[in-house]
Structure 1
Amino acid sequence: MAVDGLSINLATVREQYNMQQAVEACLKHDIVAIAPWRDQIHAIGLSEAARIVADNKLQVTGLCRGGMFPAADPAARAAAIDDNKKAIDEAAALNADCLVLVVGGLPAGSRDIRHAREMVADGIAAILPHARAAGIPLAIEPLHPMYAADRACVNTLEQALDVCDLLGVGVGVAIDVYHVWWDPKLEQQIARAGASNRVLAHHICDWLVPTTDLLLDRGMMGDGVIDLKRIRRSIETAGYHGPQEVEIFSAGNWWKRPGETVLSTCVDRFRSVC
């Protein structure tokens, strides 16, 4: 019997499994929704990845990732747009619910975050017609401010929704609790996202105290300080009832454990603390 409402972002077991192995392990735990990363797809080939998804009737809750739009020169910005169009095509081949966008930070040598944010909006606008034609929604994922310089200059749900409002149909948000749990406007902005049907994905993990690495020390749900149930209630009240997607980067802990242990713990914690 499927674990209803649970998806596994395959980053969670990327050190234990390739995509084929990860799917087989998920199915053993009755998990029928996944979110692969592009490097995992490229490693086995897009046609094989699409076959795995179709043969096992999997829901792909998102493809990770597009984005990385800001760059110091026009050629690099054009290359990013071309790569994002390829990512849209890959998401379409997998029948993914959305393409997740980690939008990018400051170009090399820049201190102008306002200009970086303009380049993000321009980049998404440039790929949006292709995404609409392919039927793939674009999910802007605001990242914690600690990543503003190098990974994502869109750092709050409010900022992401402002871009959505600017660009219109086909753009929404991926709400990752790791990045937004601290935001005093979070509930207000979740309600705003729900009012315009902008919530495309809901990612879960936990924030450890102390955390030993800002990128690679995410916690298993229940091991940290995030009020997961409260955020889930807000998101469901806003109208999103899709799967919660476990996305854990954990170089010192969960990536070192057997994949079976990781997945069984994800199921247990999803049922008990989410």
Structure 2
Amino acid sequence: MTKATTDEQRMILTREDLVQGLSGCGLKAGATVIAHTSMRKLGFIVGGAETLIRALLDVVGEEGTIVMPSQTWKNLDPESGVHWEEPEAWWPLIREHWPAYDKRVTPSIGMGAAAEMLRTWPGAERSDHPARSFAAVGKHAAYVTQYHDLRNIFGDGSPLAKLYDLDCDILLIGVGHEKNTSLHLAECRSTHPGKQLARESSAIMTGGKRSWVTYETLAVDDADFVRLGEAYEREHGVISHRIGGAEVRLLKQRPLVDWATAWMNANRK
């Protein structure tokens, strides 16, 4: 791992550097891990997203599983704000013509190059939710991604809950808890009085035809995730590592979700 000879002083990282760094963070063979990654924070990776995915798979091995969000959140009603850059006059056409979700074809949106690479990896599995899917590669990929109900995005029975059952790890590479999707499982399990449902709509295939389907699901809110995550790290002494230019944290999902559920019950209105 060396510094580039530029004013930015970015790191240049090889696959071997990444394997050593990830192992040094505590990621082990056989692990099931949901990863959230900022490749820009890491530095210049020789081979880009492909090299990062190969390094992750090198570390967890054949018995391990890598999971990443592969969400397609623009496949929601324009009224929800997901097409904020387009004029309201276009909304009816967007509703009528937005492509139906196809888990083999539809690209992820805003999830980063690593998540998009994982989605297209040989043997990758992807869940069926048209807006909030997850992609996975490895031993438990099929189990994690099957039966992702429209109305149950992040709750019990969802990919996040299956990861909880597998006692998975959370890997935050160059990102904070604002990107920690597992905290939405805590939202679903909490009993704070402000919980409410939201009506969402997406384009899906039903009976071989495109349909614009409306469904109810829990309204989620990540506004306090950073505060919650920082409190958890202080209380539990979570160790921060460094790979290239990125701060990296590896933590167990199950104790975090349990703690966060109680925290939300106590701190959310």
Q: TM-score range by the shorter chain?
A: 0.3 to 0.5
Q: Report the TM-score when normalising by structure 1.
A: 0.32
More strand by share: 2
Q: Which has the higher contact order (CA 8 A, sep 6+)?
A: 2
Q: Considering only CA atoms, is the larger Rg found in Structure 1 or Structure 2?
A: 2
More helix by share: 1
